[in-house]
């Protein structure tokens, strides 16, 4: 699926940076390991999660998240990670975001492992568990925002998350599918339980409110700086008028004086 999101009235929002710090790191590692796995397919058995090799390869519950089966597998996961994860990282900070990412990713992998202890041939790869955890977090943080599925069909984020959760649940009964819907559902479940724990949710809400206040302060500071610049330009032109008269201004200066005066007047109206 392809997604877009926009703000819903009544929810504060801002435009995220192209790549936040943690997103940049995660995408970089995933791309590098995708290229390495393409050149050396044996890495799937080394870094992928499997009941037959997790001991002694105890790193697999972490590394399986960075191995993908094909171009579209890694491309879609990284696109969703960037699209929905960037704003979460801006709110929580890099450390808290990475903590949540690995908790949902490792947690969903361990749940999958419990259901596949008797299947030594199954290997789990991909970041989907953590990605679905991020979708759950985004749905809890911004339930009334609108998502456009295929750029055409608008749906609120809370219903979108419910829909993909329901699809993952019912699809998990299909034992013939190569897609691990159990991992998707587990990622959402682990994310929900983590975020709904009292202390964690309280900390995240505090971080969100702090971020809102910081951004509002930054916006107000920029507005005041703009007013100061306009007033400075007007004062310069008025000083020149005092020296040489209004007719002594060039046509450009007259236009600049009029434009600056209009802008300053509008800024004053906004303040009032």
Q: Where are the domains of the chain?
A: 3-196, 220-271
Q: Check if CATH label 1.20.1540.10 holds for domain 3-196.
A: yes
Handedness of CA 252, 257, 258, 264 (dihedral sign): positive
Q: CA 17 to CA 214: how far, in whole Å?
A: 16
**Residue pLDDT tens, the chain, 272 long:** 233 333 333 333 334 456 788 999 999 999 999 999 999 999 999 999 999 999 999 999 999 999 998 888 888 889 889 988 988 898 888 998 999 999 999 999 999 999 888 888 889 999 989 999 998 898 888 888 777 666 667 778 777 777 776 665 555 454 455 567 788 889 989 998 888 875 666 666 667 667 676 777 777 777 778 778 878 888 887 887 888 787 777 888 878 777 877 777 776 655 54
pLDDT confidence of residue 170: 55
pLDDT confidence of residue 8: 36
pLDDT confidence of residue 35: 94
pLDDT confidence of residue 91: 84
Tell me if 129 sits within 8 A of 62, measured CB to CB. no
Residues in the chain: 272
Task: Dig out the tokens for 261 from the structure.
Answer: 């005066």
pLDDT confidence of residue 178: 59
> What is the CA 187 to chain-centroid distance, rounded?
16
Tell me if 60 sits within 8 A of 53, measured CB to CB. yes
pLDDT confidence of residue 13: 39
Q: Among candidates 56, 80, 59, which has minimal Cα distance to 2?
A: 80
Q: CA 141 to CA 91: how far, in whole Å?
A: 10
Q: CA 41 to CA 45: how far, in whole Å?
A: 8
pLDDT confidence of residue 12: 38
Site of tokens 């979708």: 135
Task: Dig out the tokens for 244 from the structure.
Answer: 């040489």
Distances (CA, A) of 130 to 77, 105, 113, 202, 222: 10, 4, 15, 21, 37
């Amino acid at each position: 699926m392809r997604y877009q999101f926009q703000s819903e009235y009544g929810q504060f929002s801002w435009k995220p940076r192209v790549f936040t710090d943690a997103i940049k790191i995660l995408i970089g590692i995933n791309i590098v390991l995708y290229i390495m796995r393409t050149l050396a397919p044996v890495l799937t058995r080394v870094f992928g999660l499997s009941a037959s090799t997790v001991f002694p390869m105890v790193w697999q519950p972490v590394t399986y998240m960075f191995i993908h089966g094909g171009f579209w597998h890694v491309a879609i996961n990284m696109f969703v990670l960037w699209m929905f994860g960037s704003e979460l990282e801006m709110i929580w900070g890099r450390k808290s975001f990475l903590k949540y990412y690995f908790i949902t990713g490792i947690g969903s992998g361990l749940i999958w492992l419990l259901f596949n202890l008797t299947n030594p041939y199954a290997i789990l790869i991909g970041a989907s568990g953590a990605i679905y955890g991020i979708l759950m977090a985004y749905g809890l943080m911004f339930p009334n925002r609108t998502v456009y599925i295929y750029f055409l069909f608008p749906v609120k984020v809370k219903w979108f998350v419910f829909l993909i959760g329901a699809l993952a649940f019912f699809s998990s009964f299909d034992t013939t599918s190569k897609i691990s819907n159990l991992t998707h559902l587990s990622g959402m479940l682990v994310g929900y339980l983590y975020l709904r724990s009292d202390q964690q949710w309280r900390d995240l809400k505090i971080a969100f409110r702090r971020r809102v206040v910081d951004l509002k302060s930054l916006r107000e500071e920029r507005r005041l700086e703009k007013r100061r610049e306009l007033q400075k330009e007007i004062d310069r032109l008025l000083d020149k008028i005092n020296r040489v008269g209004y007719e002594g201004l060039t046509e450009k200066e007259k236009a600049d004086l009029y434009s600056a005066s209009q802008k300053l007047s509008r800024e004053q109206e906004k303040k009032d």
